[in-house]
Amino acid sequence: MGSRLLVPAILLAAWFWTTSAGIVKSYQFASPAAVLNEVTALAQSGDLWADVGISVERVAIGFAAALLCALVLGTLVGSSRVAERALDPTLQALRAVPSLAWVPLLLLWLGIGEAAKITLVAIGGFVPIYVALVAGIRGVDRKLIEVARSLGLHGAALALRVLVPATLPTLLVGMRIGLTQAWLFLVAAELLGATSGLGFLLTDGQQTTRTDEILVAILLFALCGKLSETALRALERRAVGWADTIQA
């Protein structure tokens, strides 16, 4: 535990010292005290909760949409060669497009409202989940399917009792990466034309040269990302503790 906290402690001390000694100006990098003040001020005005709230909401809705689409398309492509030939090349090509490239198109289509932001988040979250699910379904041990078939299992029963549990570990890893991607795409969405959210805090801080505000946004991003990842990791441990891996 001590060794894990050592580096953050040194960084914090260096931050404290460089800003208080005046080596770094406050318009370049705000002091810890200034950041703390800003957090308190934002919390008191209620802006903090509103911005965190709206960002979390966008990620949650976008991620849920991504999960739904990935489950449908991934299952289709993973279990049918026809669907694979029809859909997979297109989806793989979409995957190669950098996130920001979507922004102009989404703004034109959907305006600068919520829909454009949520769509961008969903695109970001979709890809890793889809890729993982297809790989997971392909990787199911054929010998286990043979056992289930020899016991008379077919169709939905086979899928539910063998394919779903066997695919779950890979799917959950994909979901964890997808969630990180969703947060990444949220920043892209909120940096461009948002009036609320953590990304808005970033642009607002930049325009008013308030480094304390920028730092607050960055720290909150770190916190939200870490918390959501921890939640999914806990889910993973509960759901796939059976997997015979080094991690487990």
Partner 1 sequence: MGRHDTGVKAIAVRGLRKGYGERRVIEDFSLEVEAGEVVAILGPSGCGKSTILRCVGRIERADDGTIETGGEVGFVFQEPRLFPWLSVRKNVAFAARNDAERARVDETIALVGLTPAAPQLPKQLSGGMAQRAALARALIRHPQVLLLDEPLAALDALRRLELQRALGGILSLTRAAAILVTHDVDEAIAVADRAVVLEAHGGRIVLDLAISPAARSGEPESHAMQRAALLRALGVAEGDARRTDAARRASPYF
Place of tokens 């607050």: 216
Three-class secondary structure of residue 32 per DSSP: helix
Nearer of residues 23 and 151 to partner 1, judged by Cβ: 151
Least distance to partner 1 from the beta carbon of 146, Å?
Answer: 6
Chain-centroid distance of CA 32 in Å reads 27
Distance, CA of 30 to CA of 163 (rounded, Å)? 53
Least distance to partner 1 from the beta carbon of 89, Å?
Answer: 31
Nearer of residues 105 and 151 to partner 1, judged by Cβ: 151
Least distance to partner 1 from the beta carbon of 171, Å?
Answer: 13
Least distance to partner 1 from the beta carbon of 3, Å?
Answer: 31
Least distance to partner 1 from the beta carbon of 244, Å?
Answer: 4
Nearer of residues 169 and 178 to partner 1, judged by Cβ: 169
Q: Which residues bind partner 1 (CB under 8 A)?
A: 143-144, 146-147, 149-152, 161-162, 165-166, 168, 240, 242-244
DSSP per position, 182-204 = HHHHHHHHHHTT-SSSHHHHHHH
Nearer of residues 168 and 218 to partner 1, judged by Cβ: 168
Nearer of residues 4 and 143 to partner 1, judged by Cβ: 143
End-to-end CA distance of the chain: 21
- Judged on CB neighbours under 10 Å (0-12, 13-18, 19+), 1 is exposed
